[in-house]
Amino acid sequence: MDIRFMSTDVHNPAFIRAGQSNDTRKEGRKDSPMTAVRHIRWSRIIELTLLIAIIVGAVYLLSKLVTPQVVTAVTVIAGFLILRFIVRVILQVTFTLLRYLFWMAVLAAILLCVL
């Protein structure tokens, strides 16, 4: 029997990075992505407003230097990037609120069954 294989966890990843042995390999983080807590960070909203202000200023300065077609193309690209950021923040806030509402509904259902 090979003791080296018996002493390792079967749930470790099958592929090990090159140059690392079992002794030098660090154990991965024990936190699973399902237990990560998401908080609403107001700094994200402040970052969003600053980003919008910087982009509006950049478009204004760019419009003074180049043709309207270039300004339109740059504005469309920047608009997609800003929209992606906004949707991401809104989805994080929405899922955080829905998680709290779900657990409140579960607790209310348990209380209704008990009482």
pLDDT in tens, 25-36: 555 555 555 555
pTM for the structure as a whole: 0.38
pLDDT single digits (tens) 70-94: 878 888 998 898 899 889 989 999 9
Domain spans, the chain: 3-29+42-114
Closest residue by Cα to residue 98 from 25, 38, 45, 41: 38
User: Hey, how many other C-beta atoms are within 10 angstroms of the C-beta on 102?
Assistant: 10
What average pLDDT score do residues 6-24 get?
Answer: 62
Own/partner pairs, 80-89, CB within 8 angstroms, 24+ separation: 82/51, 82/52, 82/55, 85/48, 85/51, 86/48, 89/44, 89/45, 89/48
Tokens representing 67? 């043709």
Per-residue pLDDT at 58: 83
Indicate the average pLDDT of the chain. Answer: 78
d(CA 50, CA 63): 20
Per-residue pLDDT at 23: 58
Per-residue pLDDT at 55: 83
